Amino acid sequence: MMEGNNGFGSLDNANTSESKPPHPRAPSYGLQCPSSNGVLKPCKKSLVRHPSLQVKSKALDIAIGNGHAVENHGAEFIPIVRSGAWADIGLRTSMEDVYLCVDDFMHDYGLKNFADGPSAFYGVFDGHGGKHAADFACNHLPRFIVEDEDFPGEIEGAVASAFLQTDTAFAEACLSDSALASGATALVALVLGRMLVVANAGDCRAVLCRGGKAIEMSRDHKPMCNRERRRIEACGGSVYDGYLNGQLNVARALGDWHMEGMKGADGGPLSAEPELMTAELTEEDEFLIIGCDGIWDVFLSQNAVDFARRRLQEHNDPAMCSKDLVDEALKRKSGDNLTVVVVCFQSNPPPNLIVPRARVQRSFSAEGLRELQSFLDSLGN
């Protein structure tokens, strides 16, 4: 399934699509929050920051080496966002991925834009054990962001809080309907003016193309990663054969409250807290690729950027580029559901890269010249 701008997406098989979630501005659409008896009811307009995130978010000028911010290369560039997405059931029997593309985020969610340039929201939600958690996150997480009392003043804090608010709300929803029990990894990207904010919990990945170079804007949260493994063990969990508590192959996710030993009132080894990275976009930034883990099973980040650049140079269409990436992943025998969102930051296609030719100085010694002359003379005899 392919979407252009402002698209919600999910897919149950390769040829048909499920009905889309309601548009955020539709009168019937409203964020639901859990009440004390486990029944969901409409939320108040302003949401209080999640209790675990009452501190300020980290500053944006941290070096990329610390995994939080990409170095700023210019302040005059204003991105022009264009997006598209494609999803395919792949070799699975059911589709559990959901995505969201909103090129005019502030307007569509009833807020006044606070900065020059775009205000856009993109997300990929990769479900497991069913797609209820992915659907729930797609429908509710964006609204938790815009209704945070500190948004947009503290963007990073509001986004991080929204992940935890979504996780808590889904836990309450599952109490009233056990059939919802499932989990989902989630990656969202916001473009607000020149700022790109990426929040990730799980093994979806976002890769920024800057001048043809792949810059990973997220880190895969696998149980075998040293940092995640230390956190898991500190929370009383274990990693067995690459799986969290021998059950999940991700270290962070929304949902999964039904799985014993994963989450609890005092935390647990499976975390819903996202890891955030930010970048200030410049004229060198061409596009962003967001993909579920099925894409990255068969693509290296630089490989995906190179492939997408070539396709965008041919047709300059982010939706077709998303389809091209999914089709290529199918050719490479990815065995998972496949979802890609491509966000372009320029109106023109990526330029051809000019690689400077290395200047190599070559010289012959006097002895070498004599030997060469001797060799040439021998050929004439």
Residue 261: other Cβ atoms inside 10 A: 16
- Collapsing DSSP to helix, strand or coil, 354 comes out as coil
Q: How confident is the model at residue 111 (pLDDT cuts 50, 70, 90)?
A: confident
Nearest in space to 198 (alpha carbons), one of 251, 254, 122, 264: 122
- Asked if residue 367 has pLDDT above 80, the reply is no
CATH number, domain 2-380, options 3.40.50.720, 3.60.40.10, 1.10.10.10, 3.40.50.10490 = 3.60.40.10
Q: What is the DSSP string of 207-243?
A: EEEETTEEEE-S----TTSHHHHHHHHHTT--EETTE
Percentage of residues in the chain having pLDDT higher than 70: 76
User: By CB neighbour count within 10 A (0-12 exposed, 13-18 middle, 19+ buried), where does 128 fall?
Assistant: buried
> How far is CA 163 from its chain centroid?
13
At 120, phi and psi to the nearest 5? -135, 155
Span 222-239, pLDDT tens digits: 999 999 999 999 999 999
Omega before 152 within 30 of 0, i.e. cis: yes
Span 202-224, pLDDT tens digits: 999 999 999 999 999 999 999 99
* Structure token pair of residue 130: 């069913």
At 81, phi and psi to the nearest 5? -90, 135
Span 244-301, pLDDT tens digits: 999 999 999 999 999 999 998 788 999 999 999 999 999 999 999 999 999 999 999 9
Q: How many CA atoms lie within 13 A of 306 on its CB side?
A: 5
- Rounded to the nearest integer, the mean pLDDT of the chain is 83
Torsion angle of the four alpha carbons 149, 69, 113, 55, in this order, in degrees rounded to the nearest 10: 10
Pairing, β 254-255 against β 275-280: unpaired
CA distance 337 to 237: 28
Q: What is the DSSP string of 107-121?
A: HHTT----SSS-EEE
Q: Which parts of the chain are beta strand (E)?
A: 2-3, 7-10, 32-34, 40-42, 69-70, 82-88, 97-102, 119-128, 183-192, 195-201, 205-210, 213-216, 239-240, 243-244, 254-255, 275-280, 285-291, 338-344
Span 30-57, pLDDT tens digits: 344 444 443 444 444 344 555 555 433 3
Q: What is the mean pLDDT of residues 135-148?
A: 96
